Structure 1
Amino acid sequence: MTSVKQVQVTFDCADPERVARFWCEVLGYVVPPPPEEFAGWDDFHRAQPPEKRGAWFVAMDPTGVGPRLYFQRVPEGKVVKNRVHLDVRVATGLVGEERLAVLEAECARLIPLGATRGKLLLADEENESCLNMQDIEGNEFCLD
């Protein structure tokens, strides 16, 4: 039996490059270089047939540890809550007021990038506090 070596997370969205660049800022990811024969991504997109221009974009962890994020254009908008979401682990190991302060600071950093703040879920007997958020196209994620 073969084991999985890598995981890619795919986002359906209206504007792949915009959403990819948002997630680069959130996670410290980078946009990979374009194919060798192109000076930049704009040149690559211009070389595509009109219906394919801007159809997808990628964000990747510069260390190669985190999963590659792939953003693909789809015609329909988001209708219901995500069944899968990312937890952005900004407060791992922290508890109480220290954890809340880190969650709030990260939220404050992401809102000017286009994120939307959701509900703060306070710690209970089983879970630490986390903060629900949405990216620039309404995809849910948590600051954890």
Structure 2
Amino acid sequence: MATTVQVTFDAADPAALSRFWADALGYELDAPPAGFETWDAFLDARGVPGAERNRASAIHDPEGVGPRLFFHQVPEGKTAKNRVHLDLRKAPGVTDPAERMRLLEVECDRLVGLGATRLTRHEPVGLSLGFIVLRDPECNEFCLD
């Protein structure tokens, strides 16, 4: 049996970063635990002060296909390039280079509108079908592929 994977992000603002990635991926915020209508009700029951309520957030694929993403607050900022990154597959199976890059550009514009920063565009060459590199609102690199 395969091991289930969760991808964890260090974050300054877990709530905001989880909302960005939920919008980017079409994911949903995790629901509060059973028996609680809201996360605030759950955190009230646990005695968590208001100032500590943005320590973590999580999102999931509503279709249950993709991995859960977990965001937890850390005191330090990002200092170097990611050693692992997400590739958002927005043109799988599209073999026409011009159409593929057009589709990636449309998605890039949408993600920039959500708060991402565009870094570089890599044209189709050799084995590469082309891709675009971006950063999320907390400067984590990711690719449109």
Whichever residue aligns with residue 115 of structure 1, its letter is A
| Conservation of the 8 A alpha-carbon contact between 1:45 and 1:54 | no
Shift of 1:65: 0.9
Q: Which residue number in structure 1 is paired with residue 65 of structure 2?
A: 65
Q: Which residue of 2 aligns with 1:75?
A: 75
| One-letter amino acid of the structure 1 residue matched with residue 6 of structure 2 | Q
List gaps (5 residues or longer) in structure 1.
Answer: none
Deviation at 1:50, TM superposition (A): 5.4
Q: Percent sequence identity over matched residues?
A: 48
After superposing the two structures, state which structure 1 stretch, 48-57 or 7-16, moved more: 48-57
d(CA) in 2 for partners of 1:81, 1:61 = 26
Query: Alignment RMSD, CA only?
Result: 1.5
Map 1:14-29 onto structure 2 (within 5 A).
Answer: 14-29=12-27
Deviation at 1:44, TM superposition (A): 3.5
Residue of structure 2 equivalent to 1:6: 4
Give, in angstroms, the shift of residue 48 of structure 1.
1.4
Measured against aligned partners, the alpha-carbon deviations of 1:20-49 in whole angstroms (never above 9, x if no partner) come to 111111110001211134321233445414
Q: In structure 2, what is the Cα distance between the partners aligned to 1:44 and 1:118?
A: 40
How many residue pairs are counted as aligned between the two chains?
142
Most deviating of 127-136 and 3-12: 3-12
> How far, CA to CA, are the matches of 2:37 and 2:112 in structure 1?
32
1:65 and 1:43 map into 2 onto residues whose CA distance is 29
Q: Which deviations, in whole Å up to 9, do the C-alpha atoms of 1:89-134 show, x marking residues without a partner? A: 0011123110111010001111111000110011111111100001
The aligned counterpart of 1:115 is 116
Q: What 5-or-longer segments of structure 2 have no aligned partner?
A: none
Amino acid at match of 2:37: A
SS of equivalent to 2:112: helix
Return 100-109 or 28-37, whichever deviates more: 28-37
Show structure 1 runs of 4+ deviating over 3 A. Answer: 42-47, 49-52
For residue 4 of structure 1, give the secondary structure of its aligned residue in structure 2: coil
TM-score, scaled to structure 2? 0.91
Match of 2:33 among 18, 32, 35: 35
Residue type of the alignment partner of 1:48: V
Alignment partner, residue 139 of structure 1: 140
